[in-house]
């Protein structure tokens, strides 16, 4: 609402299995939180930060624990099983052909 003075609201609307994504789709990323935000960040910087986080999860994102402890645990202890679970979720979503994600975030 007050972008660029405050960070934009960014979340996934499809189900994600990732250490830094909460069940409701919110992303655990300092850049998207008040203290980590700077009005000098543009949309490109936000998207690059999210892309980087998705490719290289931060398993120590917050002292109170990760956004998705199950995903974090599997990512750390059994990467092959983690990758298989993510692939199965993506395949399921592709089969459902759900394009509801294109709607605006309130």
Active site residues: 28
8: phi then psi, degrees, rounded to nearest 5: -70, 155
Dihedral Cα 39, 44, 45, 51, nearest 10 deg = 140
Give the contacts of 64 (CB within 8 A, at least 6 positions apart).
none
Give the contacts of 39 (CB within 8 A, at least 6 positions apart).
4, 5
Give the whole-angstrom CA distance, residue 59 versus residue 25: 17
């Amino acid at each position: 609402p007050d972008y660029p003075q405050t960070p934009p609201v960014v979340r996934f609307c499809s189900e994600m299995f990732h250490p830094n994504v909460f069940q409701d789709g919110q992303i655990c990323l300092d850049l998207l939180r008040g203290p980590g935000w700077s009005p000098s960040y543009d949309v490109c910087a936000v998207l690059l930060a999210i892309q980087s986080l998705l490719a290289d999860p931060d398993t120590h994102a917050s002292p109170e624990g990760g956004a998705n402890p199950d995903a974090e645990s599997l990512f750390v202890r059994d990467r092959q099983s983690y990758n298989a679970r993510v692939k199965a979720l993506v395949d399921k979503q592709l089969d459902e052909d759900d394009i509801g994600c294109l709607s605006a975030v309130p």
